[in-house]
Structure 1
Amino acid sequence: MSAAAAPAAMGSGKELANPPADGISKLRFSDHSNNLLTVRLYDADANVLKGEFVHPGAVLDCCFHDDSSGFSAGADHTVRRLVFSSAKEDVLGRHDGPVRCVEYSYAAGQVITGSWDKTVKCWDPRGVSGPERTLVGTYTQPERVYSLSLVGNRLVVATAGRHVNIYDLRNMSQPEQKRDSSLKYQTRCVRCFPNGTGYALSSVEGRVSMEFFDLSESAQSKKYAFKCHRKSEAGRDTVYPVNAIAFHPIYGTFATGGCDGFVNVWDGINKKRLYQYSKYTSSIAALSFSKDGHLLAVASSYTYEEGEKSHEPDAIFIRTVNEVEVKPKPKVLAAPQ
């Protein structure tokens, strides 16, 4: 991830000092701590840069293993293991193309990566460095992997061509389900519901779909899609890609970030928008809630949706989250007549 310093807009949150300078690809809070971000490692509470790891190519994704180590994926085709205390790194494995996604599965004890080489790979990080010693398996996908997400033993892989493959990590021999996206346009992000019942999928066309794993008619009747991150002027709709989805770890509500520079918070069950934060100076490239849900990291970074052009400096903001912004509102029942 990366960004460059910019003045903090009123209400944007605390801006992190010493941000990167060439576009932000991902933000991740630690699953064990409420204040750590990587591949530049920040203490978000203290606003201190604690470590920095350099790839030969662009870093496209990152995740934590624990508070002492993590993993990153890059355009140089490598998956890297990062040790924060010593600032050391080594190559865990390689793909035949840029590695777009990386996740650590606590359920399987494995690192899961997705690449534009049209494969997903599983790695055992306990092994000695080197692809022959750490690679658990390679699983061919119908197209380039754009996004993936984990919940428990479930893995959801979203690829180009609007394909979605759903796996059980305990048996990766074939997908548990093969689906097409409910959205008509290219997928940007997929994130599993914290309760493990389904996933949210976003597209370049300002929409998000809510999908459920259960294939029963009653469960599938609950799925829906909604419009977001768009504006209407003079009778014309302008739509913006929805780059990021982040679920609140306590309430199960979720935030979306778009190329319109807005962050919206949604109650997916009651189908309502709970909150919209003040507009940021650039596209929202990534979002991440802290483990306790009290902080939201926001990456304001131009995502080149309009090609090379002059743009505002990139920045990372840490918002303190108020309960009213993320807690679902109780349904109001009509009084009996």
Structure 2
Amino acid sequence: ALMTREISELSGREGMFRFHLTSLKLLNPENKPDAFEEQALRMFERDGLKETSTVERINGRTIFRYMAPLYVEEDCLQCHGPQNYRSGDVRGGISISFDIEDLQQKISRNTFLIVLFGVSTTAILLGLIYFFTAQLIRKLADARRQIEKLAITDELTGLFNRRHILTRFNEEFEQGKRLNTCVCCIMADIDHFKAVNDKYGHLKGDAVLKSLGHLFKNMVRAYDIAGRYGGEEFLIILPDTRLEQAWNFAERIRMQAKESLNGDVKITISMGVTCIQDGDGSVDDMIRRADSALYKAKSAGRDRVEWIPGA
């Protein structure tokens, strides 16, 4: 026991650990158990525990304490026989104490760093997920807009295609009927377009159509609707426009097309104009009148604008 105390004091001074031999039946009062050791010894005797441990704060330091029982063997009875011990009884225990304050601080610091690293990594991953998700959503939105645009656009001229311009025409027609506002439409056709294709080829013909589409785009108002109706025919919808205004606008387009399009390929266009009437049941009524006015322009020598106010 004396040697044990000396080794314990030496290791304690070196900052390693301390251990202590103790018993509930003391031979040496210096080996008296403290509260943890006394409780452990009673549990060893009463419950047959093989070991126990705890963590305590002692003098501002964190101490890990461990204790295991010491059992009476035959050789021990020479000294402990008078204390009524029998072989196999718990005669005491050995208590070991470790100062784990520095270790606890390192664990806390490392835990903080691990948590910080985990949080930072998670934040970065979430940021990357958000970034790439946002990029994907934008690309999908752009693709959807592009698909929607392709679905309503005539590829050659860049104007609305027939299906979409008729859809928009129906919307403006219904609104004009409901609000009692004037809606006009213009049907335009390139004069002798077949001759252009025959003389210059279809590529040149396509260039003429593209140039005329560009001209319409530049000359219509923001709320006007221009589209390719079919072949070399074009349809322009003019909301909130009186017949005289529509005729003047068509005349400006006719003159501009005649003066500026396609350099060596001189073209003219004929146009028919009409406006909504009380008796119109659908856009078909307006289109028929505009087509009749266009036929009238063609019959009168082409390169002109004609109009039909009503059926």
- Shorter chain as denominator, the TM-score bin is under 0.3
If each structure's helix is expressed as a fraction of its own residues, which one has the higher value?
A: 2
If each structure's strand is expressed as a fraction of its own residues, which one has the higher value?
A: 1
Q: When the two structures are superposed, what TM-score results if normalisation uses the length of structure 2?
A: 0.21
Q: When the two structures are superposed, what TM-score results if normalisation uses the length of structure 1?
A: 0.20
Determine which structure has more spread, i.e. the larger CA radius of gyration: 2
